[in-house]
Structure formats: structure tokens, C-alpha cells
């Protein structure tokens, strides 16, 4: 991933140096397991721990000749270890190293992503509590529907983030497996007992069964979880983008001192952060599709998945890490305009309270169809006639006023009628 979207902490997980260090840790764990089983002398392990090291440039130099990265790595390590190096990679195949080390990488990245997801959760929670009673209009199809609160909008996001916290933990657990089962997974030159010991040293769970590789449905679940999180961020960001429109202006991204919105128009304050989130989410969804394509491999394995994962795993983890922290910052400093919310809500004199009027007329004896037609005509008149008001139309309508009192009409236009149960929902969420 390009530096622009890479936080150093996450980027460090995916460097060549970190990858080869994980390989070395995996190799040493197998040697240590063999020592515990009595098949390798303890002195060899001490010598390997003391002398085993690698040089990234030297590995690349060797790989140019041998055309195999694991062999290049092992060759370089053995250049430093000497005779004890004969116990390294004993009974193993390349994927034993690569896939188990990859699990370490993905687990570490997943735990870092959890930190960003938790930060976002806390930011949304704080704003939801703050705006629990900040009345605004709810929209369906982009059209005014009924009253809600801005905190209620955020509470919906909060619950979605909580589901992602569960999914992410499940994905981390699913990928935290190792395998040391040999060329086609049948333990032909290594034992299940050794696999269990080595995985325990790495704080991984042995894959219950594998071929030459750990099966890629695990990796696909992980990538799909990141794509799901990214798609929710896209959803949240899209809402902010709509609310920041000049003709709405109910909420706005923070605009920092010295920031400029346009090279040509000095007045501009654009939702560039939210637009950035929406754009990057598309990459996560595309990478998740690539992860699905990696599941069907030939027989016990091929390496068509390998080249794909060199791109999609670093890129997706780096991107979602960046996106979570950037969007959490937007939520933490979000600017909210309650007065604009109230102004927009009353744009046609209370048409958004039409359902309350409909139900009150039904209560008074009209059929639902009669009530609907009567309320709709007054609402659409307010919509279609400049300066007209739904409230005033109702109060002037003889049919309506023959059934309702003025106080009953006004009571129907009170947002509290719609929001009386909001507190119960917040209590259910613990907000």
C-alpha cells in the first residue's frame, strides 16, 4: 500500500524484515518442539538461537539464482548458523513455514485493527449519548419521512460496529492456526505431536486437517470481515456526505485551521475525509472478491493464491487500519447543527407528522382509506404550494376540523409523539 494510506505501526507488520523474522520464529519453534520430543539435541537449539539471523538483501540475491524465496531464506540462515543448521526445516515443506508465519502476521494485524475499531466504537458512543435528544428528520428514499434524533442515527451505527467487533474476533480466531504436516498434509516426515507442540509455542492452534497449505476459506473470511467493516464505514461516511450538503448542512466534518477546500473557490468546505473513506472501501470489497477466488486451488495445492495474497493481505489490513483511525477522528470532532435540523424538519409546516394525523382520524371513526386521502391532500398541498403549511392546511380543512380539535391537531404535530420510545431503545443498547 502506498505511504499515503499507511500508518507506520501497521506498515511495519508487512515489511520483508518482519516476514522473514516470522519465518525464523516458525522454524525455531519446530526445532524447539523436536528438542522437547528428544529428536534434536538441546545444544543445537541453543546454537541456532544464538547464531540464526538473516539479511534481506542477501536473501534477495540468492533468490535471483534459486527462484525460490524459502530456499533463499534457509540458505542465508544456514550461512550464519553452521552445522546446527541441518536441524532447521527438518521434515517440513515451504508452506509449513509460509502459512504458519502468515497466520502470525494476520493475527497481529487483526489485533491492531481491533484497536481502531474500538476507538471508532467509543467515538460513536460518545456522540450518540450527546445527541440522544437532538431532534432531526429521518429520511427514506432521500425524502423526509418522520422525526428521529441524531443520536438515534448514531446508535444504529454503534450496534453495527459492535457486530463487527464480534466478526473481527471470529476472523482472528479463524486465521490463528498453524500447520506442520508436510508436503500434502499427511505427516509423512513429521508428526502430529510435533505440530501441536510447535503451534503451542507460537500461540496458534493446529489446523485440524490440511493439505500442503492452510485452506483459504479462512483467509477469505478474514478479508470479507475487513470488507464488511469498510462497507459500514462507507455507509456512515455517505450519511455525513449527504448531511454536509449546503442545502442540508445538519452535520459537517471537522475543518482544521489552515485547511483549504478548493484551489479555485475559497468558500468551499468539502467532505473529503468521508469521500476518501467511501473510495477506499471499494478496494476492500475488490480484495475480498480476490480472496474468494483463492479458495479453489488445484488438488492439494498450487500457488496461484500466493501472488494475490502478497497484494491483498497487506493492502487490506493497512487500508482498514487507516480508514478506522481517520473516520474515528471525523466522528470525534464532528460538527453538528441542531438548529438546521429543526429548520429542515419543518420545511413544509409539519408534513412529517402525517402518520400521527392519519391515525388520529382513524381513531375518530374514519376508514384508513378515507383518512389517508384526506391527510395526503393537505400534505401535498403544502408540498406543492410555495409558502403553504401542512399545519395551517389541516386547521382550515372543514372535514378535519369536524373530527379533531385544534389542540388535537397540534398534539399530532409534536415530535415527542414519535420519539416517546427512543429512550427504551437506547437503554436496550446500554447507551
Among candidate residues 275, 310, 339, the one where a domain is terminated: 339
Written as one string, the DSSP assignment of 193-211 is HHHHHHHHHTT-EEPSS-S
305 catalytic per annotation? no
* pLDDT score recorded for residue 268: 92
428 domain-assigned: no
Model's pTM, two decimal places? 0.94
| Average pLDDT of the chain to the nearest whole number | 96
What is the band of 385 on the pLDDT scale with cuts at 50, 70, 90?
confident
366 domain-assigned: yes
The average pLDDT across 421-427 equals 91
Does 269 share its domain with 164? Answer: yes
141 catalytic per annotation? yes
pLDDT over threshold 90, residue 1 = no
Q: What is the dihedral of CA 188, 194, 195, 199, to 10 degrees?
A: -160
202 domain-assigned: yes
Does 158 share its domain with 279? Answer: yes
What is the band of 386 on the pLDDT scale with cuts at 50, 70, 90?
confident
Does 84 share its domain with 111? Answer: no
* pLDDT score recorded for residue 22: 98
Does 54 share its domain with 82? Answer: yes
Bridge partners (DSSP) of residue 336 are 251
Round to whole Å and give the CA distance between 52 and 24. Answer: 8
* pLDDT score recorded for residue 186: 96
Round to whole Å and give the CA distance between 104 and 13. Answer: 10
* pLDDT score recorded for residue 324: 98
- With left for phi above 0 and alpha for psi between -120 and 50, is residue 181 left, alpha or beta? alpha
* All three cell numbers of 144: 423526509
430 domain-assigned: no
Q: What is the pLDDT of residues 269-304, one digit of tens each?
A: 999 999 999 999 999 999 999 999 999 999 999 999
pLDDT over threshold 90, residue 417 = no
Q: What is the pLDDT of residues 111-150, one digit of tens each?
A: 999 999 999 999 999 999 999 999 999 999 999 999 999 9
What is the band of 249 on the pLDDT scale with cuts at 50, 70, 90?
very high
The average pLDDT across 163-183 equals 97
Q: What is the pLDDT of residues 76-111, one digit of tens each?
A: 999 999 999 999 999 999 999 999 999 999 999 999
177 domain-assigned: yes
Does 20 share its domain with 101? Answer: no
304 domain-assigned: yes
210 domain-assigned: yes
Q: What is the pLDDT of residues 187-223, one digit of tens each?
A: 999 999 999 999 999 999 999 999 999 999 999 999 9
* pLDDT score recorded for residue 418: 81
pLDDT over threshold 90, residue 334 = yes
Does 171 share its domain with 310? Answer: yes
Q: What is the pLDDT of residues 220-240, one digit of tens each?
A: 999 999 999 999 999 999 999
Catalytic residue, chosen from 141, 263, 267, 299, is 141
Tell me how many domains the chain contains. 3
Does 315 share its domain with 389? Answer: no
Among candidate residues 309, 339, 369, the one where a domain is terminated: 339
Does 376 share its domain with 331? Answer: no
What is the band of 388 on the pLDDT scale with cuts at 50, 70, 90?
confident
Q: Which residue has the cell 525464523?
A: 24
Percent share of the chain, pLDDT over 90 = 95
The CATH number of whichever domain residue 53 belongs to comes to 1.10.275.10
Does 121 share its domain with 17? Answer: no
Round to whole Å and give the CA distance between 237 and 229. Answer: 12
The CATH number of whichever domain residue 398 belongs to comes to 1.10.40.30
- With left for phi above 0 and alpha for psi between -120 and 50, is residue 198 left, alpha or beta? alpha
Bridge partners (DSSP) of residue 178 are 206
Domain hosting residue 202, numbered range? 95-339
* Cβ contact 158:127 at 8 Å: no
The CATH number of whichever domain residue 189 belongs to comes to 1.20.200.10
Among candidate residues 339, 368, 383, the one where a domain is terminated: 339
* pLDDT score recorded for residue 196: 98
Does 254 share its domain with 334? Answer: yes
What is the band of 251 on the pLDDT scale with cuts at 50, 70, 90?
very high
Round to whole Å and give the CA distance between 347 and 207. Answer: 61
Does 39 share its domain with 75? Answer: yes
Catalytic residue, chosen from 68, 188, 262, 377, is 262
Round to whole Å and give the CA distance between 69 and 74. Answer: 9
Does 104 share its domain with 81? Answer: no
* Cβ contact 140:129 at 8 Å: no
* Cβ contact 219:289 at 8 Å: no
- Residue 337, CA distances (Å) to 25, 341, 343, 402 in order: 54, 6, 10, 39
The average pLDDT across 49-59 equals 97
Round to whole Å and give the CA distance between 163 and 302. Answer: 35
User: Which helix or strand (DSSP H or E) is residue 146 part of?
Assistant: strand 143-149
418 domain-assigned: no
* pLDDT score recorded for residue 175: 98
Amino acid at each position: 500500500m502506498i505511504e499515503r494510506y499507511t500508518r507506520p505501526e501497521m506498515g511495519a507488520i508487512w515489511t520483508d524484515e518482519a516476514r522473514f523474522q516470522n519465518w525464523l520464529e516458525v522454524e525455531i519453534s519446530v526445532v524447539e518442539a523436536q528438542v522437547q520430543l528428544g529428536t534434536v539435541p538441546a545444544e543445537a537449539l541453543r546454537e541456532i538461537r544464538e547464531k540464526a539471523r538473516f539479511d534481506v538483501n542477501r536473501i534477495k540475491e540468492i533468490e535471483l539464482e534459486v527462484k525460490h524465496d524459502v530456499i533463499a531464506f534457509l540458505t542465508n540462515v544456514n550461512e550464519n548458523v553452521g552445522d546446527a543448521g541441518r536441524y532447521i526445516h527438518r521434515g517440513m515443506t515451504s508452506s509449513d513455514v509460509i502459512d504458519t508465519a502468515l497466520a502470525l502476521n494476520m493475527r497481529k494485524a487483526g489485533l491492531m485493527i481491533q484497536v481502531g475499531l474500538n476507538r471508532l466504537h467509543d467515538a460513536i458512543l460518545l456522540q450518540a449519548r450527546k445527541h440522544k435528544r437532538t431532534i432531526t428528520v429521518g429520511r427514506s428514499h432521500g425524502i423526509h419521512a418522520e422525526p428521529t434524533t441524531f443520536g438515534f442515527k448514531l446508535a444504529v451505527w454503534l450496534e453495527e460496529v459492535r457486530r463487527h467487533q464480534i466478526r473481527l474476533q471470529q476472523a482472528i480466531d479463524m486465521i490463528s492456526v498453524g500447520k506442520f504436516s508436510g508436503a500434502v498434509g499427511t505427516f509423512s516426515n513429521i508428526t502430529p505431536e510435533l505440530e501441536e507442540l510447535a503451534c503451542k509455542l507460537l500461540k496458534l492452534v493446529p489446523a485440524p486437517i490440511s493439505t500442503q497449505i492452510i485452506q483459504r476459506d479462512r483467509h477469505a473470511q478474514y478479508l470479507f470481515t475487513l470488507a464488511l467493516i469498510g462497507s459500514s464505514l462507507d455507509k456512515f461516511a455517505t450519511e455525513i456526505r449527504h448531511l454536509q450538503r449546503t442545502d442540508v448542512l445538519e452535520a459537517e466534518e471537522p475543518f482544521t485551521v489552515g485547511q483549504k477546500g478548493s484551489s479555485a473557490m475559497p468558500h468551499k468546505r468539502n467532505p473529503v475525509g468521508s469521500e476518501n473513506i467511501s473510495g477506499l472501501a471499494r478496494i476492500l470489497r475488490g480484495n475480498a472478491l480476490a480472496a474468494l477466488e483463492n479458495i479453489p486451488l488445484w488438488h492439494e495445492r498450487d500457488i496461484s493464491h500466493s501472488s494475490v495474497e502478497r497484494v491483498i493481505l497487506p493492502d487490506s489490513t493497512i487500508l482498514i487500519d487507516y480508514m478506522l483511525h481517520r473516520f474515528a477522528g471525523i466522528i470525534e470532532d464532528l460538527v453538528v447543527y441542531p438548529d438546521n435540523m429543526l429548520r429542515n424538519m419543518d420545511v413544509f409546516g409539519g408534513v412529517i407528522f402525517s402518520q400521527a394525523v392519519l391515525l388520529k382520524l382513524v381513531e375518530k371513526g374514519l376508514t384508513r382509506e378515507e383518512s389517508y386521502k384526506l391527510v395526503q391532500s393537505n400534505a401535498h398541498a403544502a408540498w406543492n404550494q410555495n409558502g403553504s403549511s401542512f399545519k395551517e392546511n389541516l386547521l382550515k380543512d372543514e372535514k378535519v376540523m369536524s373530527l379533531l380539535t385544534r389542540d388535537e391537531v397540534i398534539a399530532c404535530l409534536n415530535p415527542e409523539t414519535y420519539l416517546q420510545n427512543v429512550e427504551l431503545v437506547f437503554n436496550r443498547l446500554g447507551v
